[in-house]
């Protein structure tokens, strides 16, 4: 049985990856300090073939035995959360990535880095292909996340060149779905929680900024196809359907049947104006395309949020 280490395995994406890897017959070790993740995300997996090690990967990555793949997903991902933990975010992207790469190198494992569309910053090229170098403010508040991920990419490619490590870098664009912590600060999570509670949907700025939202099952399928591929550099995995934040708010109201109002709040500093992945590379190399549209993904996620509330876990 192949064996994977998933850092950040108790988080939103990490827990989906752990579940899918188990379903594909992998043994999985999740390493997570529960900074933004939750044990309940993986408690159904606990048992033979799956282990959750509660540990901070900034300190070390203590996993014994054979390892076939290291998937480095540990990092706060929601803007309010990384802004609340700025030094930890810089360190998990730098020191944490070093530990994850060292583990892969020592055990001869494949390495996959969870990078982000934020490496493109406030992009001047639209849509964004992997060849675009980005437009990041290196001294602004968001730099703790953006620059940590850019450093993590640079370190990953350095290990690839120096040690011939088998590396993959996935640039993930705004992903949502079951397991995304309710009201965690990210827009889909906030809007669905607000609609469920009958509270106003908080649009930042005038809501004309755009994002392209990918449903989690599509994202995870793309990430694991990349892991299985021979492609060693960065690859965008995201849904190219682009929406303004105001369009998203209207869709959430429609899908949930909520009569919440929409209110307007201050736009965060350096909030990117528009973002949409060019997925030509993923489609050419992996034959990957997303299948679930935003409306369907929102409906599924809202159903899960309602279930969580009924279970008393919201």
Indicate which residues carry an active-site annotation.
Answer: 145
Residues near ligand UDP (CB under 6 A) are 79, 174, 186-187, 190, 202-204, 209, 211, 245, 268, 271
- How far is residue 172's CA from residue 128's CA, in Å, rounded to a whole number? 12
User: Applying CB under 6 A, which of residues 8, 123, 207, 277 lies at the interface with ligand NAD?
Assistant: 8
Q: Considering only residues 59 through 98, tell me which ones interact with ligand NAD, judged by CB under 6 A.
A: 73-77, 92, 96
- For residue 189, the tally of other CB atoms under 10 A from its CB is 19
Which span sits near ligand NAD by CB under 6 A: 168-176, 194-202, 254-262, 293-301? 168-176
Nearer to ligand NAD, 104 or 260 (CB): 104
Nearer to ligand UDP, 39 or 274 (CB): 274
Nearer to ligand NAD, 134 or 200 (CB): 134
Nearer to ligand NAD, 19 or 260 (CB): 19
**11 scored as a contact of ligand NAD (CB under 6 A):** yes
CB 19 within 8 A of CB 49: no
CB 171 within 8 A of CB 129: no
Residue 50's SS3 state is: strand
Structure tokens at 89: 């975010």
Rounded to the nearest angstrom, the gap between the alpha carbon of residue 277 and the centroid of all alpha carbons in its chain is 14
What is the smallest separation between the CB atom of 85 and ligand NAD, expressed in angstroms?
8
The closest of 287, 273, 197 to 237, measured between CA atoms, is 287
Nearer to ligand NAD, 186 or 231 (CB): 186
Q: Give 283's contacts (C-beta < 8 A, 6+ positions apart).
A: 289
State how far the alpha carbon of 308 is from the alpha carbons of 198, 283, 302, 303, in Å: 16, 35, 10, 9
Which of ligand NAD, ligand UDP, none binds 12 (CB below 5-8 Å, type-dependent)? ligand NAD
- How far is residue 251's CA from residue 180's CA, in Å, rounded to a whole number? 18
What is the smallest separation between the CB atom of 294 and ligand NAD, expressed in angstroms?
14
Which of ligand UDP, ligand NAD, none binds 203 (CB below 5-8 Å, type-dependent)? ligand UDP
State how far the alpha carbon of 232 is from the alpha carbons of 149, 270, 302, in Å: 17, 30, 36
Q: Rule CB under 6 A: which residues touch ligand NAD?
A: 7-8, 10-14, 32-37, 56-58, 73-77, 92, 96, 114, 116, 172, 174-175
């Amino acid at each position: 049985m192949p064996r994977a280490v998933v850092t950040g395995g108790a988080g939103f994406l990490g827990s989906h990856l752990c579940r899918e890897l188990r379903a594909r017959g992998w043994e999985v070790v999740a390493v997570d300090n529960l900074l933004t993740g939750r044990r309940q995300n993986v408690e159904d997996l606990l048992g033979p073939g799956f282990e959750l090690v509660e540990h901070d990967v900034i300190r070390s990555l203590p996993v014994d035995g054979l390892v076939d793949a290291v998937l480095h997903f540990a990092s706060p991902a929601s803007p309010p959360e990384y802004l609340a933990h700025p030094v930890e975010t810089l360190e998990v992207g730098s020191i944490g990535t070093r530990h994850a790469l060292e583990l892969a190198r020592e055990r001869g494992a494949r390495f996959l880095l969870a990078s982000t569309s934020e490496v493109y910053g406030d992009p001047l090229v639209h849509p964004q292909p992997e060849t675009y170098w980005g437009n990041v403010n290196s001294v602004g508040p968001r730099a703790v996340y953006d620059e940590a991920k850019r450093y993590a990419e640079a370190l990953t490619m350095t290990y690839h060149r120096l040690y011939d490590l088998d590396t993959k870098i996935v640039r993930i664009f705004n992903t949502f779905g079951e397991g995304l912590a309710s009201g965690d600060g990210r827009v889909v999570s906030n809007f669905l929680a607000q609609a469920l509670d009958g509270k106003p949907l908080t649009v930042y700025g005038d809501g004309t900024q755009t994002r392209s939202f990918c449903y989690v099952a599509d994202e995870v399928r793309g990430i694991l196809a990349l892991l299985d591929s021979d492609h060693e550099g960065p690859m965008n995995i995201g849904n190219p359907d682009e929406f303004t934040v105001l369009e998203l708010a209207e869709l959430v109201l429609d899908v949930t049947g909520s009569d919440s109002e929409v209110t307007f709040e201050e736009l965060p500093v350096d909030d990117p104006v528009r973002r949409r992945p060019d997925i030509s590379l993923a489609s050419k190399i992996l034959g990957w395309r997303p299948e679930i549209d935003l409306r369907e993904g929102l409906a599924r996620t809202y159903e899960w949020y309602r279930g969580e509330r009924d279970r008393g876990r919201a």
